[in-house]
Amino acid sequence: QMQLVESGGGVVQPGRSLRLSCAASGFTFSTYGMHWVRQAPGKGLEWLAVIWYDGSNKYHADSVKGRFTISRDNSRNTLYLQMNSLRAEDTAVYYCAREPKAALINWYFDLWGRGSLVTVSS
């Protein structure tokens, strides 16, 4: 059964850092591009970052560029999101999501995790 499971969320003070993880199982993780998407309370979905299947390319949304970094460890079947200099407006549920086709970036998502809640508050 294909699955993505996020972890690492919690309550963090403004200005601090947090790293989210996304564990993949049931498919060949190393052949799929991966994304992070978030949803702030009462808001819609916001795309954050993409990483190619082999880690060769990565892009971040302007809203998080320079503060957040996407990465992956294909030997551990795990995707990461390093979040630095966190702000109150980063409070959201963070989802990892998979590209629909191996070795391609189509920019939509056919498999999602259940999300991990990050709350930035003093």
Partner 1 sequence: EIVLTQSPGTLSLSPGERATLSCRASQSVGSSYLAWYQLKPGQAPRLLIYGASSRATGTPDRFSGSGSGTDFTLTISRLEPEDFAVYYCQQYGSSPITFGQGTRLEIK
Q: Which of 51, 80, 95, 118 binds partner 1 (CB under 8 A)?
A: 95
Instruction: Dihedral sign for Cα 29, 37, 122, 11, please.
Output: negative
Among 47, 52, 67, 77, binds partner 1 (CB under 8 A): 47
Per rule CB under 8 A, is residue 79 in the interface with partner 1?
no
Radius of gyration of the chain (CA): 13
Q: Return d(Cα 4, Cα 95) in angstroms, integer.
A: 9
Return the number of the residue (14 or 89) whose C-beta is nearest partner 1: 89
Asked if 61 is part of the footprint of partner 1 (rule: CB under 8 A), the reply reads yes
89 in contact with partner 1 (CB under 8 A): no
Nearer to partner 1 (CB atom), residue 2 or residue 15: 2
CA distance 70 to 94: 13
Site for partner 1 contains 113 (CB under 8 A): yes
Cα 92 from chain centre: 12
Whole-angstrom CA distances from 8 to 11, 17, 20, 22, 31 are 10, 11, 5, 9, 24
Among 16, 40, 100, 121, binds partner 1 (CB under 8 A): 100
The answer to the question of residue 106 lying near partner 1 (CB under 8 A) is: yes
Binding site for partner 1 (CB under 8 A): 4, 43-47, 61-62, 95, 97, 100, 106-115
